[in-house]
Every structure is written in C-alpha cells, then in structure tokens.
Amino acid sequence: MKRLSFIAILLVYSLTVVNAKNEIVNVGFTFSPSTITIVPGENVVFTLEAMHNAVEVSYATWNADGNTPLAGGFSVPFGGGEVLAAQLPNGSHWYVCTPHAAAGMKGIIVVGTPTGISENRGLIDLSVFPNPARDLITIKGDNNLQGTGYYITDQYGRQVLTGKLEGEITSINISQLNRGIYYVRSEGQKNRSLKVIKN
C-alpha cells in the first residue's frame, strides 16, 4: 500500500513538473515565449492578464494578424488556462490574442517527437517521399487537392516555403534549405503535418 501511494505521489509530481515547464505568459502585448516546442503528450499552461486570451487560428490568419478561430482549434479564456495534450497533435499550432492580434500579439506551439523520424500519418490525404531528402521531395495526394496551398515550416514554426499542389504528385525543390527538420502542411488539414528531414 505504501508503495502504491508513493507511485501515485510521484506521478502527480511528475505531471506537475512537466506542465510547469510549458508555460506561456504575456509580457504586455506579447506572448513569452513567442514560440515553444514541446513533445507529444505534454500540456501547455497560459498565465495571462485578464485582458488577454489565446485562440488557435490557421497559419493564413496568423500570418495576416487576423483573429478568426480555427474550427476545432484550442481556445484559452481571458486570464489564462491550460491546453491539454489531446488538443495539440504533432505539428505547429498558431495562436493569437483575439483583441490584440492586429497589434501582433501571437505565438506558436510546435509539437514534435523527441527522437527519430515521426510517423508520416499526420496528413490524411498526403504522403511525402523520399524521407530523409536532399534536393527534392515529392508530395503525393488525391487529385481533388489540386490547387490546395501547402507550406513548409522549420522546427520552430517559421514558414520557409509555400506553394500550390499541382495534382496527385507535386515535386518541391528543397535544395536551398539548411539541413534539419521541417514540417509539410496543406491548407484545410487542421493540426496535421508531415515531418521531413533534410540532409
């Protein structure tokens, strides 16, 4: 019985410590840190003043300093709260403070695997190969995705390439990118990304 109690206390302590390191606060009209990287399964705590909230938006909305919520995205009330791991699948999550988005109050949560190559099941209708890649990657999807925008972000959530899918197969030149980890996402695929390693 003592051992079971000790394990329960240790588990509660572990969860508290893990969640404590994933805290985002506001400093005036900015989020700090503005970009946070976590591993899957971790929660994020927002500690905000009463005039600030945090709402997940699409990349296009985030990039335009807009505040239209992403359907099914996370929402933190004014004054702060916690975003559970279930709301943070692998990939980049862009968010803004609704009343202050136009002033640039926005941030990014990047969720990635701690080691190895993540499974390429993030995008339901897309696959990417080769992986790892050197100069070119190919995105394969359904024909009905033709004309859909895609974007590639680095591991910190910064957009490095954009374009439109050309149909079932689209080749993308990544030779100009530095070696590292990147995420391929398409418009309309909420919170889903494919991880690519550039050699």
Here the CATH number for the domain that contains residue 13 is: 2.60.40.420
The pLDDT of residue 170: 85
Residue that finishes a domain, picked among 78, 111, 144: 111
**Of 70, 79, 75, nearest to 25 (Cα)?**
79
Q: Using one digit for the tens of pLDDT, what is the confidence trace for 66-122?
A: 999 998 899 999 999 999 988 998 878 989 999 999 998 999 888 875 444 444 434
Residue bearing the bigger pLDDT, 115 or 140 = 140
**Are residues 132 and 86 located together in one domain of the fold?**
no
Residue bearing the bigger pLDDT, 141 or 125 = 141
**Are residues 19 and 65 located together in one domain of the fold?**
yes
Structural domain total, the chain: 2
Q: Average pLDDT in the 115-139 region?
A: 66
**Are residues 7 and 67 located together in one domain of the fold?**
yes
**Are residues 6 and 91 located together in one domain of the fold?**
yes
The mean of the pLDDT values for the chain is 80
CATH of the domain at 193: 2.60.40.10
**Range(s) of the domain holding residue 169:** 127-198
On the question of pLDDT at 142 being above 80, the answer is no
How many helices (H) and strands (E) would you count in the chain? Answer: 2, 16
